Amino acid sequence: MRPAFARLSSISCSPGASARQQPQAGLCARPPIAAVDRGLNRFALDPEAPLPDADDCALHHALFLADLHADCLKWDRDLLRWSNYGHADILRFAAGNTASQVFAMVTHSPVNFPWRDSLSANEPNHAAWLALVERRPFRSTCGRAFYQMDLFWDTVDRSQDSDGPEIRPILNASELLALIEARSRCKYPSRHRAYHGDRRKTRAERVRSCGTSPKSA
103 in a structural domain: yes
36 in a structural domain: yes
Which tens digits make up the pLDDT trace of 45-59? 888 989 889 999 999
Measured distance CA(15)–CA(87) in Å, rounded: 17
3 in a structural domain: no
59 in a structural domain: yes
Domain that residue 105 falls in = 8-42+55-208
Q: What percent of the chain has pLDDT over 90?
A: 24
How far from 189 is each of 35, 36, 40, 199, CA to CA, in Å? 35, 35, 34, 22
214 in a structural domain: no
Closest C-alpha among 161, 153, 196, 136 to residue 2: 153
Q: How many domains does the chain have?
A: 1
Amino acid type, 26: G
48 in a structural domain: no
Strand order in the sheet with 166-170: 65-67, 98-101, 8-12, 166-170
156 in a structural domain: yes
Which tens digits make up the pLDDT trace of 81-129? 998 888 889 999 988 899 999 998 888 777 766 556 556 666 677 888 8
Q: What is the pTM of this model?
A: 0.66
Measured distance CA(66)–CA(180) in Å, rounded: 11
Cβ-contact 93, 167 below 8 angstroms: no
